[in-house]
Amino acid sequence: MNNFILIFFFLFLGLLLQRVKQFPTHIYKVLNKVVIYFCLPAITLYHIPKIRWSNELLFPIASGWITFILAFVFFHFLGKRLGWSNKLIGCLILTAGLSNSSFLGYPIIEALFGKKGLETAILVDQPGTFVVVSTLGVFVAAFYSKGSPDSLSILKKILFFPPFLTFVFSCLMNVFKFDFDENIQFGLLKIGSLVTPLALLSVGLQLTFDRKSQHWKFLRLGLFYRLILAPFTILVLYVFVLKQHSEAIKITLMEMAMAPMITGAILASTYGLKPKLSSMMIGFGIPISFVTLAVWYLIVQFI
């Protein structure tokens, strides 16, 4: 319950601070960097070495790839059939195809499943959605904006991105059964605990609501995919087809039901793929997701 209070407190604090003229709202960029360069690596270094690997871990990792590829097929062919512009198609793929598995996912999963649940959440995020947005996401953005993706640049971004580096390092620690001293672990845990307040404050500072936008029907379609169709696909595939019923599957499904990924929206905006729509996907997707997540949480109790 305390974690849920923190989620709403820092989210609404960010919204309130937007209205304070003297407050530098662009500070969210600094908060994002702190989360990405310090908090997320700390969480990874603490949890990954403790994970006992098995074939079941492939399910959380694959979920982000499955839902993004499905989003590409869904929006590409629907868009071509209905005569949408390439920029609109690309925007919907990037915003609806990627879940907010870290900034929102980590605190919500911790609130629902405890710190143990973060181990699965990290697997969904790090080798899953994070690598997807850094590779397929960049290619999609470049393709639909009529640019040409620079393979070397993409590779450099992946290899030198701090969370990815720490993920690889943590995997090596796991393989060689090495873990840090208890004092270092305590420090990592404290730094990692800042993800919830900093990330949600950042999200609150970025939320915008454009009532005059012409993108309402596309917003509804994008959020339908992100909040309903994507987790439903994972539910059917993992539970009913592959007969998986572990807690890791429940967490994976919840992660796939999260609001759109902020990084995906930023990528779409950077490449000129309907920036206003991408902003609306974040602005409306986050608060609406709290309602749909409650429904999905009730559903996973029966898995």
The pLDDT tens digits along the chain (303 residues) read 566 677 778 888 988 998 898 888 788 888 888 888 898 889 889 988 887 777 778 999 999 999 999 999 999 999 999 999 999 999 999 999 999 998 789 889 988 998 889 889 988 988 889 888 877 888 888 888 865 556 676 667 667 778 778 888 988 999 999 999 999 999 999 998 888 788 778 878 877 766 776 788 999 999 999 999 999 999 999 999 999 999 999 999 999 999 999 888 888 887 889 888 888 898 889 889 999 999 999 999 998
Pick the closest to residue 225 from 251, 180, 258, 268 (CA basis). 258
CA distance 251 to 35: 22
Distances 100 to 144, 186, 231, 255 between C-alpha atoms, Å: 22, 26, 13, 8
Cβ proximity of 258 and 294 under 8 Å: no
Domain boundaries, the chain: 2-16+35-207+215-300
CA distance 196 to 107: 5
Instruction: Indicate the class that CATH gives domain 2-16+35-207+215-300.
Output: mainly alpha
CA distance 10 to 29: 16
Enumerate residues 6+ apart whose C-beta is below 8 A from 86. 144, 145, 146
Q: Is the pTM of this model over 0.85?
A: no
